[in-house]
Amino acid sequence: MRFNSSQRFYPETRMRRMRANDFSRRLMRENVLTTNDLIYPVFILDGENRREPVASMPGVERMSIDLLVREARELVSLGIPAMALFPVTPSERKSLLAEESYNPDGLAQRATKAIKDAFPELGIITDVALDPFTTHGLDGIIDDEGYVLNDRTVDTLIRQALSHAEAGADVVAPSDMMDGRIGGIREELEDQGFVNTRIMAYSAKYASAYYGPFRDAVGSAGNLGKGNKFTFQMDPGNSDEALHEVALDLAEGADMVMVKPGMPYLDIVRRVKDEFGVPTFIYQVSGEYAMHMAAGQQGWIDADACLFEALVGMKRAGADGILTYFAKQAARLIHNQ
């Protein structure tokens, strides 16, 4: 007979009994955060020995490739398995057709080569999207009315993803939300022999207000202006649609799927994990980071305790891994424990 909790009664059952000591709390803990759950996003600058603070993300810096290689050494020492790269494209290299996105000597491509040469064991995840490379800040090629052209954009995304694989990327991560891009990228990677290059699909990426500091960091906020991404990113009110998006990406060859943002969308993570049982990731985005940091700096919250609780909550919701700007801080907390 299946166990029914209603068959347990007080005082024979005291739920606090197992909470009484540290050892028993540890023994019955259902979800544990480890360094294996962490992915560290970084912003790449051109030049050498350059670092710039991101004003809206205290503690986060844009860094040149040589400094990122040093950063990679620290990640390896902390046991963090992967780094996600986001280039800051100079304005003179942005264009309507985003040609810089697939330049073999572009920032993301050069950074990938440099880090993989120095630390081949560190996973490199590259962002496949055009917003850092377009003059208008949208994630694709637009028509005369400013509408993002899906299939024309996918053609460029395929070229971008292939250039990342050729540079040595372990995982390409399309974050653009164009229809059909996963299938196109998978077919090209297979045709060119990159059969083990994984695809992490941003399958349920919402048109969120939490992305503002990220756009500041990569320099696309000014280009986007008062524009929006409602025609391709998901409506925050939708949940069933996310499952449809995930199903399509898996059918097209995605190895992993992503829900973005993080804490406001934990219900989506749970539904995706329950429905598909595939590697499911979540992005604790820049706005979440900025709010957490601001509250911590004001002394309104215990920053370390709240950070840990937030990340464990993402694990509890079903996430197999978490992209977070807190990755190094979390790893140090884990080691100290």
Which sequence positions are flagged as catalytic?
205, 260
Cα Rg for the chain, rounded, in angstroms?
A: 21
Give the whole-angstrom CA distance, residue 146 versus residue 138: 9
177 closest CA partner among 157, 197, 198: 157
Cβ proximity of 124 and 44 under 8 Å? no
Listed in order, strand segments (DSSP E) in the chain are: 38-45, 51-53, 61-64, 82-87, 123-128, 171-174, 198-205, 256-260, 280-284, 321-324
Helices (H) and strands (E) in the chain, counts: 12, 10
What b/e string do you get for 120-129 counting C-beta neighbours within 10 Å, with b at 16 or more?
eebbbbbbbb
Give the whole-angstrom CA distance, residue 72 versus residue 118: 9
Place of tokens 């560290």: 40
